[in-house]
Amino acid sequence: MNNKAIVKGSIQDLAVNSGKPMALAFLDIDYVAIVDTSGSMSDMDSRGGRSRYDVACEELKALQGENPGKILVISFSGNARLCLGGIPEYQGGSTDLAGALRFAKQYDLPAMTFFVISDGYPDNAQAALNEAAKLEGVINTIFVGPERDAIGREFLARLAEKNGGKTALAEKGDLLAKQFKQLLLKG
């Protein structure tokens, strides 16, 4: 997927098409999607034999179209990056979830809802759990990996529990948008 594209409904799309300054577009954000773009997200075990990353991008595109200007996207691997155009930047490499949660802290408000979309294998699980505990907003998690992977699923469930969030399974990346909506309704 082209990282330079602007997804309909993304923060950048809203700013460009409404004439609203980018700084004001940030005031409408209700959700922060923190998307794992580490090397394991290139595994080709997702819907239609595609990568976990490609399917996550496809589902995020649909979510942003249904929630225009409401979802801020952050990609992470070795470092975290804002993706104002709505496409998480594929980085490959390590999985510094603790660093991504520290980066996301700048958008933390008591009413903010975070979504960590990952296969559940951070570089340092304890550091990630410690950073999660520092956030005021709720953290929901969506597991995008093979269902048989109990270790990744279990870690994401523990991460969600840190802030009273929920966890969902999107086996093979399927129905990520549906899982996101269900978690919002449970909130």
Nearest C-alpha neighbor of 41 from the set 110, 90, 81, 7? 90
pLDDT at 50: 86
Q: What is the pLDDT of residues 76-108, one digit of tens each?
A: 999 999 999 999 999 999 999 999 999 999 999
Nearest C-alpha neighbor of 56 from the set 67, 45, 66? 45
**What pLDDT band is residue 171 in, cutting at 50, 70 and 90?**
low
More confident residue, 129 or 177: 129
pTM of the prediction?
0.90
pLDDT at 9: 95
